Amino acid sequence: MEINVQVSDVDLTTVINPDSEDGIRPWTIADAVAYQLVERLRSDQELYPALRTRVSEIRDEEIREQIRPAIAEALTSPLTQTNMFGETTGKATTLREMILGEVQKQMKAPTERHGGKTVVQQIIADEVAKAFRSVVVAEVIAARAVVSEQIGKLVADAVKQGLRAR
């Protein structure tokens, strides 16, 4: 008995099930192959986390690439400042200039919340205090260790002398 099967013009777009699972379009060979690949990758507990991480990294980089031109345009396009009624109140400026102006104000203007210090001065003071605190804590811990060791030796010596005296 001989069976001959001829298949012509088959590619990834060939429909294998006209009633797809999503009900939107027919199920093709490409859909079936993609489904099998995803299922195999998903079941591989060693490969899947690394693949998921890499796909996320690629996605994030693609998003950054798409957004960069819009951000650059937003930073350099002229903006007209207005009041709450939409009336022009000043000359045209860019978002970049507005941000730089705000940074300069923050660096120079003292605030009540920080006891008359600028925001930058307060940040520096906080960081110095943190560094100082970590150094002091480390020194206290080291001093405790030395004192503990010395007390331990004194107690041991006293016990030895007490035993010798008997």
Name the pTM for this structure: 0.39
150: helix, strand or coil = helix
> Residue 129 — pLDDT band, cuts 50, 70, 90?
very high
Where in the chain are the domains? 113-166
Q: What pLDDT does 157 receive?
A: 85
Q: Are 121 and 112 in contact (CB under 8 A)?
A: no
> Residue 20 — pLDDT band, cuts 50, 70, 90?
low
Show the CA angle centred on residue 119, arms to residues 113 and 124, nearest 5°. Answer: 115
Q: What single-letter DSSP state applies at residue 110?
A: B
Q: Is the pLDDT of residue 88 over 70?
A: yes
pLDDT digits (tens, 9 = 90+) for 30-57: 988 998 988 888 888 888 888 889 999 9
CA nearest neighbour of 72 among 104, 95, 93, 91: 95
Q: Is the pLDDT of residue 166 over 70?
A: no
Position of tokens 């890499």?
54
Mean pLDDT, the chain, whole residue set = 87
